[in-house]
Structure 1
Amino acid sequence: MNRSAFIKGLNSNIRLSEKERRRIIRRSLEKYPWKLKCTVAMEEFAELQQQVSKQIRGYGDQLGLLEEMADAYICLRFLESIFNVTEGELQKAIDVKLQRERGNL
């Protein structure tokens, strides 16, 4: 996304409902092939990886990180839908992983 358009959007009063977010995800998956969405997801995760690496090395861009995190989150939503992962299943898997993390603390 164009940086200035992203900033303009951040400064706007846009606030989508969860229902509208799901509708956009569904319509996008109807329009584009699922394999394309999977490929885009992998590319977005790689871009997030690059932003995190820049943060670690001390020349990161907070706005760039935020944008890539948003892209990755959206891609995760696409993947949930493509592969029929329910919110409950995902939340349970997250809880299992967090329980393990708690054990490592």
Structure 2
Amino acid sequence: MSKLRVGLLGVGMMGRHHARVIREVEGVELVAIADPGGDPHGVGGDLGVLPDIESLIGAGVDMAVVAVPTRFHEDAALKLAAAGVHTLVEKPIA
């Protein structure tokens, strides 16, 4: 069985925890992270930090976790939905 390819949008205060948890879940693989602010906590490891959500979608992810500031939730979720990417949005959703 192949692993689900996961992308993470936002690697700040909450995103760093999501990166750790994604890596611990069997059957999924963190394949891309995107954050226009870079990777302040160094959670990317071997992954380069993509500059935006369009790049994350372009990486061919099956699912994504949105862990950006609340005011960006709606835009990110709508773009991921339009691209057919299953999405978990960090609370609270706008």
TM over 0.5: no
The alignment's TM-score, normalised by the length of structure 1, stands at: 0.22
Greater C-alpha radius of gyration: 1
Return the structure number with greater strand share.
Answer: 2
